[in-house]
Amino acid sequence: MHQTVLLCVSLLLAVSLFVVVGQRLRVPSPIFLVISGLVISLIPGMPQIAVDPDLIFLIFLPPLLYEAAWFTSWKEFWRWRRIIITFAFGLVIVTALAVAYASSALIPGFTLALGFLLGGIISPPDAVAATSVLRGINVPKRVISILEGESLINDASSLIIFRFAMSAVLSGTFVWQQAATDFVLVTLMGIAVGLLVGCVFYAIHRWLPITTRVSILLTFITPYIMYLTAEEFHYSGVMAVVTGGLFLSNRSHKMLNHSARIQGTGMWSTVVFALNGLVFILIGLELPLIVAGLGDYSRTEAVVYSLVITALLILIRLGSALGSAVFTRVVGRFIPVADRNPGWRGPIIVGWAGMRGVVSLAAALSIPLTLPSGAPFPHRNLILFITFVVILITLIFQGMTLPLVIRWVKFRDPDNRPPEEEQESTVRLKLLAVALRKLNDTYAREVETNELVANLKQRIETDTRLTRQHLSSLDCDTEDFDEYNRILSDIITTKRNELIRLRTRNEFDDEVIRKEEAHIDLEEEKLDHPIH
C-alpha cells in the first residue's frame, strides 16, 4: 500500500515538473508527458509499471468526459451537430471497417473479428491532445467546437464497436443485424440513463438545501453514478456521462450558486489536469511491457504493421474530412447547414488533428489474456503494440506538426466574430445598462433618499464609463495599451505588498485579509498579462 501511494505521489510530482518544462520549451503537455514517460521507461533498473485498464475506465474516464461535456458550448455543439455526429459515428465505423479488412489482409492469421477489435480500439481521436496543441494558436472557433464535440461521442461509438468485436472473438460468431440493433439500443439507452440521472441530480441541486461544499462534491460524484448505472445494465456508460454532462451544464445557472460555480471550476480544473497528466505519462511508461510482450513477432514485423495501419488511419481521416466538405456543399442546396461552403482549409486542420490517446490504450489493455477455452487470446500482444505505436505517431508526429499545418493553410475565421475581449466588454455594457435602467425605473425614490443606493447607482455609472473606455482602448495604439497594462500591474503589485504588510498586524483578522486578497486576484485575472 505504501509503495502504491509513493508511486502515485511520485507520478503526480513528475507530471507537475514535466508540464512546467514542457511549457518552457513550448511543447504541448500531452506530447511532452508521453515523451518523458518513454525516456523514464528506458532508464536501466526502472521498475515496470502495469496499468489496470479497469482503473482507467472507472476512475479516469467518467470525470474526464464529464468535465469535457460540462465546458462544451451547447450552442456550438448544436450548430455543428451534423458534422460532429458524422465524425463521431460515421467516421469511427468507416475507420473500424477499413482497419478490419486491411489488418486481416496484411497480418497472417489475423481474422476479421480481430480486425474489428483493433479498429474499435484505435478509431477514436483524443480531444485533450488536440485542444492542448491548439491552445495559444489562432484557430477559428468552429474547428475547436467540431473537435471537442466529436471527441465527446466518438469514445462511446468506438467502445461499443470494441465490445461487439470482443464478443465475436470470444464466442466465434458475429451477426451483423444483431450487432447493428444492439449498437443503436446501447447508445440510446445510455443517453436515457444519462438524462435520467441528470434529472435526479438537478432536482437535488435545485430544491434541496445543500451547502456550497456539498454541491461541489455532488458534481464530482455525478459522472460516476451515471457511468456505473449505465454499465450495470450493459448500456453505454460513456454516452450516459456525456449526455448527462451536457444536460446539467446547460442548467448550471439554475442549480449552482455563484460560490459553487467559482470554487467548482477551480476544483475541476485541478482534478482534470492531474488525471490527464497521469494518463499521458503512463502511456509512455507502458513501452517496456508492450515491447516485451511481442512474443513470436519480430520488432521489424510489428513496426511495419503498425506504420501501415497508422498511415491508413491518417489518410482515412483526411479523406473523410475533405469528403465531408464536398458532401456539405451538395447537401446544402437542399437542407439548411451551418456553412454551405466550408472550403478545404478547415477540413485539413480537422483531418490532421486525429491524435489517439487514453481511450485507445485502456481498450487495448482490457483485452483478456486467454479465451474462455483457456487458450491464449490470439495476437493480443501485437494488438497492444500496434495501438501503442499508433498513439505515439499520431500524438507526437501529428501533434508537433499540427501548428505548421495551421500556418500553412492560413485558415481565417469565416464567422467574422469580434475578439473575445471585445465581446466581454460589450456583454458587460449591456448588463450595466440593464442594471442602471432598473435603478432609474423602479428605485428612483430610493436613489434620492438612501445614500447607499445612490452610491450603488454612482458605482454602476462609473463601471459603465470605464468599460466604454476599455472597449475604445482595444482600438488604441498597442504602445498605449501596453503602458496601461504596465501601470495597472504596478498598482496591483503595490496593493498586494501593502496587504502582505497588513497581514502581520494583529488588528486585522486573517479572514478579512483573504477576502481582500481574493478581490485583488480577481482584479489581476482581468489583465491580459497577469503578474508572476
Pairwise CA distance, residues 8 & 171, whole Å: 38
Which residues are registered as beta bridge partners of 515? Answer: none
Q: Are 112 and 88 in contact (CB under 8 A)?
A: no
The residue with cell 462609473 is 462
Pairwise CA distance, residues 128 & 256, whole Å: 26
Radius of gyration of the chain measured on its C-alpha atoms: 26
Three-state SS across 248-280? HHCCHHHHCCHHHHHHHHHHHHHHHHHHHHHHH
In the predicted structure, residue 398 carries a pLDDT above the cut 80 = yes
> Rounded mean pLDDT of 477-500?
77
Pairwise CA distance, residues 468 & 486, whole Å: 20
Question: According to the model, what pLDDT value does residue 532 have?
Answer: 46
- Of 120, 112, 104, the closest CA to residue 305 belongs to 104
Question: According to the model, what pLDDT value does residue 144 have?
Answer: 83
pLDDT digit string (tens) for 289-306? 777 767 667 778 889 999
Query: Which range has highest mean pLDDT (127-131, 333-337, 485-489, 523-527)?
Result: 485-489
Query: Which range has highest mean pLDDT (74-88, 95-109, 515-529)?
Result: 95-109
- The amino acid that residue 323 corresponds to is G
Question: According to the model, what pLDDT value does residue 288 have?
Answer: 75
Confidence band for 193, pLDDT divided at 50, 70 and 90:
very high
Least confident of 73-87, 117-131, 164-178, 236-250: 164-178
> Rounded mean pLDDT of 188-199?
94
Which residues are registered as beta bridge partners of 316? Answer: none
In the predicted structure, residue 530 carries a pLDDT above the cut 50 = no
pLDDT digit string (tens) for 363-374? 887 888 788 777
In the predicted structure, residue 171 carries a pLDDT above the cut 80 = no
In the predicted structure, residue 327 carries a pLDDT above the cut 60 = yes
pLDDT digit string (tens) for 195-228? 999 999 999 998 888 888 899 999 999 999 999 9
Pairwise CA distance, residues 174 & 521, whole Å: 59
- b/e 410-436 (16+ beta carbons within 10 angstroms → b): ebeeeeeeeeeeeeebeebbeebeeee
> Rounded mean pLDDT of 435-463?
87
Confidence band for 307, pLDDT divided at 50, 70 and 90:
very high
Confidence band for 531, pLDDT divided at 50, 70 and 90:
very low
Question: According to the model, what pLDDT value does residue 527 have?
Answer: 66
Q: Which residues contact 270 (CB under 8 A, 6 or more apart)?
A: none
In the predicted structure, residue 528 carries a pLDDT above the cut 60 = no
What is the rounded average pLDDT for all residues in the chain? 83
In the predicted structure, residue 475 carries a pLDDT above the cut 70 = no
Q: Which grid coordinates belong to 18?
A: 514535466
In percent, how much of the chain has pLDDT > 90?
16
Confidence band for 174, pLDDT divided at 50, 70 and 90:
low
The dihedral over CA atoms of 280, 284, 288, 292, expressed in degrees to the nearest 10, equals 70
Confidence band for 258, pLDDT divided at 50, 70 and 90:
confident
Domains and CATH numbers, the chain: 2-409 (1.20.1530.20), 420-525 (no CATH)
Question: According to the model, what pLDDT value does residue 461 have?
Answer: 87
